[in-house]
Structure 1
Amino acid sequence: MKYAVLIARILLGLAFVAAGVMNILHLKQKPMPGDGGLFLSILSTHGYMTVVALVMLVGGLLLLVGRFVPLGLTLLGPVIVNILLFHIFFAPSGLVEAAVILALDIFLVVVYRRAFLGIFAAGPEVLGSPKL
């Protein structure tokens, strides 16, 4: 099991570090045709994709280093949801890759589930005060 976790962590980390670096350095392939390309072009023009790329880079590095893995997964979660939705609505041809990324993420979240238990507490305790 520990090898499966290590492999999933490295694959997911490498994917996001590579994508983050490519987006930051603007090392992309030919522009995507259609509405998906227009959508990405607008996001890139206004700098939104640079911020997303930085989040991807930091999250991927945290997974690769193996420190603060739950924080890395938390940073990458919304990015993964957006990747999946982008491929569902704009570019179905990349849906398989998006599903693999989602599966790796879900696997790691399940493995590190103890770190996420507080998120699902109905009445979380606030530091320094009684339970609300």
Structure 2
Amino acid sequence: MKITELIARILLGLSMTIFGLNKFLNFIPMGEMPEAEANLMGAFAASGFMFPAIALVEIIGGVLLLTNRMIGLALVILAPIIVNILLVHLFLAPAGLAIALVQVALIGILFYAHKEKFYPMISLKG
């Protein structure tokens, strides 16, 4: 499990860091989007804060994973982003669904590998 965890941590850390940086630097061109996805991304851009906020969380979470620091925190802050990536590709842009499923699998592996860190969060005892 150690090697699987290491690979998952590095792959997810790299993808989050790279795609987070891309939101600021645009070094990976975005292809054509279906209209529904383009409308959602347009709304995010029009807000003026969503893309920078998402990008910062992706970069911070990715760097934490790559440096093997505060893994529990990294997973907790990245989970909502990955769930939204999955939902966007599931309902609005199915062409990217495979990549979203890989990210879900990677974070799932990491949550399982670090499950003991999350027991206090889900304990029924106060």
Specify the TM-score bucket, using the shorter chain as the normaliser.
over 0.9
For 1:121, the equivalent position in structure 2 comes to 123
TM normalised by structure 1 equals 0.88
For 1:69, the equivalent position in structure 2 comes to 71
Aligned-pair Cα RMSD in Å? 1.2
- In the TM superposition, 1:37-76 aligns within 5 A as 37-46=38-47, 47-76=49-78
Aligned residues: 124
2:14 equivalent to 1:20: no
Q: Comparing both chains, which one has the higher relative contact order based on Cα–Cα distances under 8 Å and sequence gaps of 6 or more? A: 2
SS in 2 for 1:66: coil
Looking at structure 1, the residues matched to 125 and 110 of structure 2 have their Cα atoms a distance apart, in angstroms, of: 26
For 2:81, the equivalent position in structure 1 comes to 79
For 1:128, the equivalent position in structure 2 comes to none
Identity among equivalent pairs (%) = 37
Structure 2: gaps (5+ residues): none
For 1:35, the equivalent position in structure 2 comes to 36
SS in 1 for 2:118: helix
Structure 1: gaps (5+ residues): 125-132
For 1:8, the equivalent position in structure 2 comes to 8
Radius of gyration: which is bigger? 1
